[in-house]
Structure 1
């Protein structure tokens, strides 16, 4: 049975951080759905690329999710963190044992909603203070229980492969890495 992942996009999300996750997960056979937090599927990335998501937040049903992912970038992260239906979903999903992941500035959203208290986490260097009372790390990817965090654009492949490994196993992640000439 295919794993199901939802990645939440807002205007100003970091192109590479969002789309690398989508690309590599799809290569791995994971069903990943891009979700706009706006009332329209049209999103403009941090670098001015206009794209269409698979669905909007209001149209989606997240009951089949195996993982929820937040990409970084600005002002995308600010919009994600300010969208209460999403932060409520993330809190509820995590509190019910679901896996959540964020990269770059987006781990600060997890801190703002109280999920990083005492957890090991990382973020973009300029955003580390936004992790609150998390145990801060400078590793490329940090996994603490069901929370995965990563540093930024330069760690997007490592982040994506870690998520694939968590969902489908290290062998599958290694196959994807080899198929894209990463390792």
Structure 2
């Protein structure tokens, strides 16, 4: 089964985190949620999330994709965590997908993983002056090679459906989307 790592930091955006976890699991993709620290994660709006494990327990494992939820201060904690950077760099070298939404594309940019790529983020999270090697695009979801970025809570469903398509194919994406009763 395809495995995806979703690191959860204190102050993450819960709508993004839950949408990513829920839809990937609906697509029968194994999702491993890993807290940066032990114990529950209090998201940006006060929702408490209970990770499956800790980042230390899975940091050396391989995944088909690593997906970073945004939100503040969660994305900042991801950016400051050397384990996250090492995981992202290793997975990119291996050709695995990396994905980030909202403020989290800055984590990828700070690690140099968006250099020479097209990307999007929450407005103002990525600035051209700070990341001149990144082509910033105002679009809900951008796929550039093995990197996927998205803008924020309102694009979380489109973002995750795109991740499903990349990991499990268009047919699986369509099955999940139909069951959600999304308007055309």
TM range (shorter): over 0.9
RMSD: 1.2
CA separation in 2, counterparts of 1:29 and 1:111? 30
Aligned pairs for 1:88-167 (under 5 A) are: 88-129=86-127, 132=131, 133-167=133-167
Q: Determine helix, strand or coil for the equivalent of 1:126.
A: coil
- Residues 35 and 89 of structure 1: is their aligned pair in 2 closer, same or farther, counting only changes over 3 Å? same
The aligned counterpart of 1:5 is 4
Higher deviation after alignment, 99-108 or 129-138: 129-138
Q: TM-score, normalised by structure 1?
A: 0.95
- Structure 1 stretches of 5 or more lacking a match? none
Which contiguous aligned blocks of 4+ residues in structure 1 show a shift greater than 6 angstroms?
Answer: none
Q: TM-score, normalised by structure 2?
A: 0.95
Q: Is contact 2:62-2:91 (8 Å) kept?
A: no
Q: Is contact 2:16-2:156 (8 Å) kept?
A: yes
Count how many residue pairs are aligned between Structure 1 and Structure 2.
181
| 1:62 Cα deviation after fit | 4.7
After superposition, give the CA deviation of every residue in 1:64-94 in whole Å (9 maximum; x if it has no partner).
4110010000000000000101111111111
Q: Is contact 1:41-1:54 (8 Å) kept?
A: no
